[in-house]
Chain A
Amino acid sequence: MKSSSLAAKAFAIFAKDLRSEVRTRYGVGSVALFAVTSLVVASFAVSPYALESDAQSAFLWVVLFFSSMSGLSRSFVKEEETRTSLALKLSAPPLAVFYGKMAFNLTLMIAVELIVVPMFLLFMDVSLKSYGLFIVAIVLGTAYMSAATTIVAAIISKANSKGTLFAVLSFPVTMPGLIMAVRMTNSALAGLGMSSSVSEISGIIAFTVMITVLSSMLFEFVWND
């Protein structure tokens, strides 16, 4: 298989998922609703004061983790539930499916963050000091979460109880990334510069790459089952 055609096929699958999503808005809707609800409740409880910055950064990632749990498994689960996975299996190599779905999950997360993060800054009365590091933390944390949860989503789409199992299986795998993302966010809120988080940044990048490569190697065993 030529890599160019693999990329084209992955993109076709990504575009198909995006199109279905734009039409139904199922994923973004449920994810954003969860995120907004929890943000509003927390800000209501805390107001008129603001949480400490470490509590704020932990809270942001709790919201992002659980809201992604409510939406990221959708693209695989839907293929199984509507029994379209067979047609996809007949038409595309597993790697194209994996990368297409991962790109879709990443896009979904980014779309949600475009809503949630500004709301977080606003409602939680966050005094953000290092914008650069904050953005890096969000981007890398998101990349790690989408990379680590895509194969978990594929696994649970074949299991009987899909809902809670996704979070149960995802948490241990995403926890290292979450810890680093929380620390980076915390440094950003505290006004420490990029240089304060070099080891977190390099660590999370290395592990995002590693888990992506490993998942793409193992995906075939899940998909062709």
Chain B
Amino acid sequence: MFIKYLLGIWMGAVCLAAFVWAPADATLGEISRIIFFHIPTAWVSVLGFLACMVYGVRYLRSRDEKDDAAAAVWAEIGLLFIVVATVSGAIFAKATWGAYWSWDPRQTSIFVLFLIYMAYIALRSAIDDPERRASLSSVYSIIAFVTVPLLVFVIPRLPGIQGLHPNEAIISNKLNMDLKMLAVFIASLVGFTGVSLWMFGLKMRFVALRLSDKAEAKEV
């Protein structure tokens, strides 16, 4: 309960600070403020994907319905955040290098991540038996996960693939980022991670209720 209000206040403060308190980047201008939202949401979508895979592995070991439900919940959260990250990234791209979409390696990888989430959810909806659905979707999330390093680490390093992304500039200069910008950025990263964990907790309480309902129905 307390955490929920704390998160609300925290995120409110982050939003406010991102637009008012932190200065705009000297070269990029006002549009630079989008990184306070774009990078944290992209981070959460990757985190959700990782968590989905980890819960998949756990399910295959434990055969516990709850692990499978947790994997599915993370996939849903990840999908939500990836939409935000993709849209904010596209706006940023239009403003800085003139096109919403240009198959920059990071755009490619986030696009494939998006496809994997969609495929995962499509697979789940195509299987009726819960146990079968759980083990097949767990296997798929693990298989899909290994393609991510290929996209994120190998393909961008191929000669001739031009990265348009400003991430190098941001990451390597992060310490040179204005101190206020850095503070807001980190606060936002923490805040979005907190929001995703809170969403996860909420959904899992719902799942637990549903599972216990089912267990009771079985006893009768």
- Interface residue ranges, A against B (CB under 8 Å): 148, 151-152, 155-156, 158-161, 165, 168-169, 171-173, 175-176, 179-180, 183, 199-200, 203, 207, 210-211, 214-215, 218, 221-222, 225
A176-B150, A176-B155, A199-B159 are known contacts. Are A155 and B136 too (CB-CB below 8 A)? yes
- Complexed CA–CA distance, A139 and B69 (Å): 40
Interface centre among A179, A199, A210, A222 (most CB of B within 10 A): A179
Question: Known contacts A159-B123, A211-B147; can you find 11 more A-B pairs with CB under 8 A?
Answer: A151-B139, A156-B126, A158-B127, A158-B136, A160-B128, A165-B123, A168-B118, A175-B112, A200-B158, A211-B143, A218-B142
**Considering only CB atoms, which chain A residue lies closest to B57 in the complex?**
A218
B32 proximity list for chain A (CB < 8 A): none
B135 in complex: contacting residue of A169, A203, A222, CB < 8 Å:
A222
A169 proximity list for chain B (CB < 8 A): 119, 122-123, 140
**Considering only CB atoms, which chain A residue lies closest to B158 in the complex?**
A199
B132 and A172 within 8 A (CB): no
A176 and B151 within 8 A (CB): yes
Interface assignment of B91: CB less than 8 Å from any CB of chain A:
no
B146 and A210 within 8 A (CB): yes
B142 proximity list for chain A (CB < 8 A): 214, 218
30 A-B pairs with C-beta separation under 8 A = A148-B147, A155-B123, A155-B139, A155-B140, A158-B132, A160-B127, A165-B126, A168-B118, A168-B119, A171-B119, A172-B112, A172-B115, A172-B116, A172-B144, A173-B147, A175-B115, A175-B147, A176-B150, A183-B158, A199-B158, A199-B159, A203-B154, A203-B158, A207-B146, A207-B147, A211-B147, A214-B142, A215-B143, A218-B60, A225-B131
**Considering only CB atoms, which chain B residue lies closest to A161 in the complex?**
B126
Closest approach, in angstroms, between the C-beta of A147 and any C-beta of chain B?
Answer: 11
Closest approach, in angstroms, between the C-beta of B78 and any C-beta of chain A?
Answer: 14
A176-B155, A179-B155, A221-B135 are known contacts. Are A168 and B122 too (CB-CB below 8 A)? yes
Closest approach, in angstroms, between the C-beta of B144 and any C-beta of chain A?
Answer: 6
**Considering only CB atoms, which chain A residue lies closest to B159 in the complex?**
A199
- Complexed CA–CA distance, A158 and B116 (Å): 19
A221 proximity list for chain B (CB < 8 A): 60, 135, 138-139
- Interface residue ranges, B against A (CB under 8 Å): 60, 108, 112, 115-116, 118-119, 122-123, 126-128, 131-132, 135-136, 138-140, 142-144, 146-147, 150-151, 154-155, 157-159
**Considering only CB atoms, which chain B residue lies closest to A175 in the complex?**
B112
B143 in complex: contacting residue of A156, A173, A183, CB < 8 Å:
A173
Q: Give the secondary structure class of A's interface.
A: helix
A160 and B138 within 8 A (CB): no
* 6 interchain residue pairs of minimum CB distance: A176-B150, A159-B126, A172-B115, A172-B116, A218-B139, A203-B154
B139 and A207 within 8 A (CB): no
A173-B147, A207-B150, A214-B142 are known contacts. Are A225 and B126 too (CB-CB below 8 A)? no
A160 and B143 within 8 A (CB): no
**Considering only CB atoms, which chain A residue lies closest to B151 in the complex?**
A176
A214-B146, A215-B143 are known contacts. Are A159 and B127 too (CB-CB below 8 A)? yes
Closest approach, in angstroms, between the C-beta of A202 and any C-beta of chain B?
Answer: 9
B140 proximity list for chain A (CB < 8 A): 152, 155, 169
B139 in complex: contacting residue of A160, A183, A222, CB < 8 Å:
A222
A176 proximity list for chain B (CB < 8 A): 112, 147, 150-151, 154-155
B143 and A152 within 8 A (CB): yes
- Complexed CA–CA distance, A125 and B76 (Å): 47
A155 proximity list for chain B (CB < 8 A): 123, 136, 139-140
B155 proximity list for chain A (CB < 8 A): 176, 179-180, 203
A172-B144, A173-B147, A214-B142 are known contacts. Are A199 and B157 too (CB-CB below 8 A)? yes
- Complexed CA–CA distance, A169 and B118 (Å): 9
- Complexed CA–CA distance, A210 and B145 (Å): 12
Interface centre among B123, B132, B143 (most CB of A within 10 A): B143
A225 and B135 within 8 A (CB): yes
B159 proximity list for chain A (CB < 8 A): 199
B147 proximity list for chain A (CB < 8 A): 148, 172-173, 175-176, 207, 211
